[in-house]
Amino acid sequence: MPYLNVTEVESAVTSLATAYPDLTQLIALPNESFEGRTAHALQIGVPAALPKPCVMMIGGVHAREWGSCEILIHLAADLLEAQRDGTGLGYGGTSFTAGQVSDLLHRIDLVIYPLVNPDGRHYSQTVRPMWRKNRNPSYTGGSQNPDCVGVDLNRNYDFLFDFVTAFDPAAGPRVSNDPCDVQVYAGPSAASEAETQNVLALLDQFPQTAWFVDVHSYSQDILYNWGDDENQSDNPDMNFRNSDFDGKRGRPNDLAYAEYIPREDENAEQELAEAFCQGLKGVRGLAYKPITGFHLYPTSGTSDDYVYSRHFADPDQGKVLGFTVEWGTEFHPRWAEMEQIIRDVDAGLVQFCLATT
Ligand code: 0X9
Ligand code: ZN
């Protein structure tokens, strides 16, 4: 089986809902993409009287990172089949017992949204394989340059969106306010894009979400908060909301700024990231690394930092620990290798879920 096209991703999601009506809910996302595509997410879990904590996982945000959709669809299919049949799960050298699967699906719900950017995936699979952004042409200013279409959805969230003000000019965060930047154009305003709004709608629909994983490629790691600067747990006033630190964020190895994270949150994130890496390593020995987003490169407007920041910006919102998985060493591995990567990452994600106790 080669990579799924956008129609096949959508029908995989709806087919799982039809095949497992007692263990799933199909969720229609409210906004159409620019090209008129609609999408669904899938809630997976054994129904309970009270709302359960949720792990939300999204994928297909960056158009060219094709395998992310398959990783999430296989994860859903594997868990549902194991729960229905009362079997365990085996991924190479990592295995989970039937009891672990059943306990997991009784304790938490998984909310899986495998294709956030369907227009981008379609364009990447039919026209320009290395395309990353969505396909919204609203900000080209009449330019015919094809690079000027689209927004990087993983810079479009409301976290330090005004990066020109927030960051030290010398920090060089990986983000742009130029619509013709083919990689990291953040959009005209936070959450300007229908696809971003769909993720926000899903978060609103599942306020009991406590963990969030955005599946990307590639660099063989799992990133945890924060992505704008180094972490510190000593000075709560030094934080993304405090304008006293505008113009100072984003430089490594300096005392001017580091982003506040409560020590217990950082410990929890490290433990979960390590659980992911351990489950993954058991499959065939690959050593993915847990690092903060900042240690990949400084960013604004990403999903992982946005979901975690919401609780600090508005304490009525539950706390969501944010992660980004970066699978693989290339965007389009041949399918036989992608099948191995799916096993690697799905074992990591199940181990991650088990560690959310
Ligand atoms: O740059 C991104 O959006 C992600 N990497 S990718 O190669 N898939 O484009 C990483 C985002 C990581 N998160 C933070 N730095 N906060
Ligand atoms: Zn990506």
Say whether pLDDT at 1 is over 90: no
Pocket test for ligand 1, best of 61, 222, 224, 302 (most atoms within 8 A of CB): 302
Total number of residues shown for the chain:
357
**What are the residues whose beta carbons fall under 8 Å from the beta carbon of 127, sequence distance 6 or more?**
none
Give burial (CB, 10 Å; 0-12/13-18/19+) of 126.
exposed
Tell me the per-residue pLDDT of 134-193, one tens digit each, with 9 for 90 and over: 999 999 999 999 999 999 999 999 999 999 999 999 999 999 999 999 999 999 999 999
User: In this structure, what token pair is assigned to residue 331?
Assistant: 């965007």
Q: What is the pLDDT of residue 217?
A: 98
**What are the residues whose beta carbons fall under 8 Å from the beta carbon of 54, sequence distance 6 or more?**
43, 108, 109, 110, 111, 206, 208, 209, 210, 211
68 in contact with ligand 1, CB cutoff 6 A = no
Q: What domains are there in the chain, each with its CATH number?
A: 6-351 (3.40.630.10)
Q: What is the pLDDT of residue 206?
A: 98
* Chain mean pLDDT for the chain: 98
Tell me the per-residue pLDDT of 268-291, one tens digit each, with 9 for 90 and over: 999 999 999 999 999 999 999 999
328 in contact with ligand 1, CB cutoff 6 A = no
Residue 174 is classified by DSSP as S
- Measured CA to CA, the distance from residue 54 to residue 62 in angstroms comes to 23
Place of tokens 């994983």: 213
Nearest to 283 by CA among 341, 324, 326: 341
User: Where are any strands of DSSP class E within the chain?
Assistant: 24-28, 40-44, 54-59, 89-91, 94-96, 109-113, 209-217, 221-224, 231-232, 259-260, 289-292, 321-327
Section 301-323 average pLDDT: 97
| pLDDT confidence tier of residue 203, bands split at 50, 70 and 90 | very high
Section 322-341 average pLDDT: 98
Cis peptide leading into 224, omega within 30 of 0? no
- Measured CA to CA, the distance from residue 107 to residue 53 in angstroms comes to 7
User: In this structure, what token pair is assigned to residue 273?
Assistant: 């990231």
Pocket test for ligand 1, best of 219, 240, 326, 327 (most atoms within 8 A of CB): 326
User: In this structure, what token pair is assigned to residue 236?
Assistant: 């709560």
Q: Are 39 and 10 in contact (CB under 8 A)?
A: yes
291 in contact with ligand 1, CB cutoff 6 A = no
Residue 302 is classified by DSSP as -
- Measured CA to CA, the distance from residue 144 to residue 151 in angstroms comes to 16
Q: What is the pLDDT of residue 250?
A: 98
Q: What is the pLDDT of residue 140?
A: 97
Q: Are 298 and 229 in contact (CB under 8 A)?
A: yes
Q: Side-chain half-sphere of 324: how many Cα atoms within 13 Å?
A: 28
Residue type, 12: A
